[in-house]
Chains A and B, each alone.
Chain A
Amino acid sequence: KAGVTQTPRYLIKTRGQQVTLSCSPISGHRSVSWYQQTPGQGLQFLFEYFSETQRNKGNFPGRFSGRQFSNSRSEMNVSTLELGDSALYLCASSLAGPVGNSPLHFGNGTRLTVT
């Protein structure tokens, strides 16, 4: 079974631009979460989607947004990029249903560099 796939692997953008990152979850997984990883802050939760609905959101500004499609694929968007947005963005999928927990399985991330 293929793992979580994230594209692109690397991105270089300029301050003020916007960026869209893509994630394909493991087949059969309907929950998709996004995380930001930086050396200073570690892994921080951005948001979680299930059945095209955002169920949970972390403490990030509104410049960070996401969506999920009917095939469970997800995208996240960052508008008006700032230097501090440079990070590894990780997508994770899980079998979690309406309630309860199951392990999150992560992709290898998209490394975003803002110059």
Chain B
Amino acid sequence: GENVGLHLPTLSVQEGDNSIINCAYSNSASDYFIWYKQESGKGPQFIIDIRSNMDKRQGQRVTVLLNKTVKHLSLQIAATQPGDSAVYFCAENIRGSQGNLIFGKGTKLSVKP
């Protein structure tokens, strides 16, 4: 995949445990945030999004938390499964900047069966 050879932060968890992936974003003018999952040989896959007027949003097995005070975003995955193993990216969109997501460097999640 595209991240081979790149030193990515790695999170290793046991199957069934909860995972928390953290991300610091850069721009105070960002008003929309997305988490993506990328598996080897594939494009980023949308997981969940959150707008800046919210601080928490839940999906199926996933929760995103937004702390605007410290410009921090996190993704919580409940009951992590081997199929969750992938690289996870947070992305921010600056208000008014259409289609332009600023991506973080990514975190590699490895789930041990």
Contacts and interface: CB of A to CB of B under 8 A. Distances in A.
Given A45-B99, A58-B100, A94-B99, A104 B5 contact: no
Interface residues of B, number: 30
Contacts, number: 73
Nearest to A43: B103
Contacts of B101: 33, 43, 45, 104
A94 to B, nearest CB: 7
Contacts of B5: 39
A48 interface: yes
A38 B42 CA distance: 14
B105 A42 contact: yes
Interface in A17-47: 31-33, 37-40, 42-45, 47
Nearest to B36: A106
Contacts of B46: 103-106
A48 B99 contact: yes
B2 A106 contact: no
- How many residues of A sit at the interface, in one of the four size bands? 20 to 34
B41 A108 contact: yes
A38 B2 contact: yes
Contact of B100 (A56, A90, A109): A56
Contact of B99 (A31, A38, A40, A109): A31
Given A37-B2, A39-B2, A42-B106, A96 B43 contact: no
A70 interface: no
A42 B103 contact: yes
Contacts of A43: 44, 89, 91, 101, 103
Contact of A96 (B98, B102, B103): B98
Interface of B: 2-6, 31-32, 34, 36, 41-46, 49, 51, 89, 91, 93, 97-106
Given A39-B4, A103-B46, 9 more contacts: A4-B43, A33-B99, A55-B98, A96-B98, A96-B99, A103-B34, A103-B49, A104-B34, A106-B44
